[in-house]
Amino acid sequence: MSEKTFSVSRRRLLTATAAGGAMLAAPWAWRRAAAQEKPRELIVRAWGGVWVDSLNEGVSKPFTEMTGIAVRHDLTEDNEIRPKIWAAVDQGRVPPIHVNWDTSTNATKSALRGVTEDLAGLPNLKEMLPAATPEGFDGVPLVNMYSYVYVLAYREAAFPDGPPESWDVLLDPRFKGRIALYDDGIGFHPVAQIAGGGTMAGVPGDMQPAWDFIRKVKEQQPLLGEDPDFTTWFQNGEIDVACTILSNARAARQNGIDVAWTVPKEGCKVDTDGMWIPKGLPGNELHWAKEYVNFAMSQQAQQKWTSGLGLPGLRPGLTPPEDLEGDPAFPTSPEDFERLLSVPTRVLVEHESDWFQKFNEIMQG
């Protein structure tokens, strides 16, 4: 309560100071203040379930409390919003959202298309780890916010002797028809490469071991779905094993579903998500969208947001959630990351579509 009172007082003080300064600095400052007029709301695209809940608690709610600007979350799938934004920018229309919370790979595709605003000037950017800023661009078209791991999630009751040690468990006849992967195979390609006897050096040049392993997995009749499907399938007893993001497995467990996770000996794929702002926003809305992204990088927001997700943020000095401390699926040190399988974003951008097609070809065959 006292914190809230302090917060309001400080805001009033800041507002009064800003207003006084603006009066003294007229007319330049007056024009700038007009350009930064607060919009009624900001629209931020997000994933549903634990993802949007964490964003809301960690970033959106505090942002609204600080600025008075409402934040509306648009739960359109990241793949579905992308063509809408691209079309809006190409046609000179105002894009449908202010901030896109996106996978780094998809965000990079949008950056290459030239539809992203430059975020280079955001003050909190310099506080982030180097991995937050993508390489190979003039400026900063997107900011990576945290990393995440595609773990091997399993139903504990199906593994009375302890967690599975290898991704080979997907080939166990006991689990035929009771395993699940993402419908485009995302998160599984590097794992299949190693489990199939290949090396990361073979990515992307020689991925035959991955395709051979995925063909064997296909014989196990896997279910293919999206984030919410995994929770439902575990809950309904449809599956025993799945390759899914740690946040989904953790949220399911926190909701009383019999799910645990592990990083098998072959490792797990690690990736990053980020935020970007589409071009074409009115000046004041662009300003506040940047303020939102900047706030998402703050210590306070990163701590609460990424703790909710159960993912390591890309800002130094964050405290891991108690239940994930020391968990290899929650990497915090270089040694932790060495156990995981990372594919450079530029490789993903260039080849991921081919991998999706190849995966689809095997699974639909």
Partner 1 sequence: MASTIHDKGAGRPVGLRLLDLLEAARELLWPARMAPLTPWLFLLPAVLLTGLLAAGLIPLLDASLRPLDRATFRLAEDYALGNYATLATRPVYGVIALRTLMAGLIVTAATLALAFPYAWMMVRTQHAWLRKLLLVSLFLPFFIGQVVRAYGWLIILGKQGLLNALLDGLGLPPSSLAFTYTAVLIGLVQYMLPFAVLMLAPALTAVPVEVELASASLGARPFATFRHILLPMARPGIVAAGIVVFTLTLTDFAMPEIMGGGGNDFIASAVYDAFFQLGDAGLGAALGIGLTLVGSAVVGVILAFFGLGTLGYVEGREERS
Least distance in Å: CB of 162 to partner 1? 24
Question: Which backbone phi and psi does 93 adopt, to 5 degrees?
Answer: -95, 165
Residue closer to partner 1 (CB basis): 1 or 157: 157
Q: Is residue 7 a contact point for partner 1 (CB under 8 A)?
A: no
Q: Which residues contact 281 (CB under 8 A, 6 or more apart)?
A: 94, 95, 98, 117, 289
Joined tokens for residue 165: 């040690």
Contact (CB, 8 A) for 97 and 258: no
Question: Which backbone phi and psi does 22 adopt, to 5 degrees?
Answer: -60, -40
Least distance in Å: CB of 196 to partner 1? 20
Q: Which residues contact 356 (CB under 8 A, 6 or more apart)?
A: 184, 185, 186
Using CB under 8 A as the binding rule, the residues of this chain from 103 to 162 that contact partner 1 are 106, 109-110, 112-114
Using CB under 8 A as the binding rule, the residues of this chain from 231 to 260 that contact partner 1 are 236-238
Using CB under 8 A as the binding rule, the residues of this chain from 339 to 358 that contact partner 1 are 349-350, 353, 356-357
Least distance in Å: CB of 353 to partner 1? 5
Joined tokens for residue 55: 């964003």
Number of other CB atoms surrounding residue 262 within 10 Å:
21
| Contact with partner 1 (CB under 8 A) among 37, 77, 165, 325 | 77
Contact (CB, 8 A) for 262 and 154: yes
Q: Is residue 48 a contact point for partner 1 (CB under 8 A)?
A: no
Using CB under 8 A as the binding rule, the residues of this chain from 296 to 335 that contact partner 1 are none
User: Which amino acid type is present at position 244?
Assistant: T
| Contact with partner 1 (CB under 8 A) among 199, 221, 254, 255 | 221
Residue closer to partner 1 (CB basis): 246 or 363: 363
Q: Is residue 215 a contact point for partner 1 (CB under 8 A)?
A: no
β-strands 223-225, 269-276 pairing = unpaired
The residue ranges that bind partner 1 (CB under 8 A) are: 77, 79-80, 82-83, 86, 106, 109-110, 112-114, 177, 183-184, 221-225, 236-238, 349-350, 353, 356-357, 360-361, 363-365
